[in-house]
Amino acid sequence: MSVRVLGCALLTCWLLLGCSSVLLGPQRSLPLPQEQSARERLLRDVGRRAFSAFSHGTPARLLLDDTALRALLESNAANQAAALRASTELAMQVPPEDQALLASGTFQGLCVQGAHLLPAGPPLGLRSAGFVFDRALIAASEPNGGRVAAWIEGTFVLTDRGFYALSLQRLESPRRDHADLDLAACDLELGLRVPRQVVVQRSASY
């Protein structure tokens, strides 16, 4: 084999391996880590992705695709999740005015509710135990010092690639000076009342 042919073969192999590693999606669900810094990274990541998806009108980016659903869920549960996703697709449209209002600020933080650890099997059909939450208040800070926030509701599960949604049920229209920024009881919080710190506000099963 010539040097040129060998080089092309190696390049092709490297590209294929590189692409496969990039495209590899979530493979398993996980419990919430105990380390504060690890929790903070996970919450910041899902908060920023949710803010970006909402403000660009593409909330479906938060959803697991069919391959990931079947990796994380037992077969029947994966089928049910896929059917639920299809039935709620129209409800996940974000009006342009909602996109613009949230996009008027920069991501500040989030408040997570309905957080708990689920075992493998029923009720969700996870293949391995996983930490889930039901809703998150996504907040943005505006240049004038004001704040905009909105709830995103669904079933979010912690995976080996971060938090992703098995399903999305409701997107609240964002509001300026949202009352829940000060009133909501959070299972986990990042950047709202104590900047850059994750705080457990009430009991949850971790």
Residue ranges for the chain with pLDDT beneath 70: 1-24, 87-91, 193-206
pLDDT of 57: 87
Q: Which two tokens stand for residue 132?
A: 């889930």
pLDDT of 31: 95
pLDDT of 91: 60
pLDDT of 5: 43
pLDDT of 200: 47
pLDDT of 197: 44
Cα–Cα dist 139/106, whole Å? 8
- Give yes or no for a contact between 190 and 198, defined as CB atoms under 8 angstroms apart: yes
Cα–Cα dist 27/168, whole Å? 20
- Give yes or no for a contact between 137 and 180, defined as CB atoms under 8 angstroms apart: yes
The predicted model scores a pTM of 0.78
Cα–Cα dist 12/4, whole Å? 12
pLDDT of 105: 87
pLDDT of 116: 94
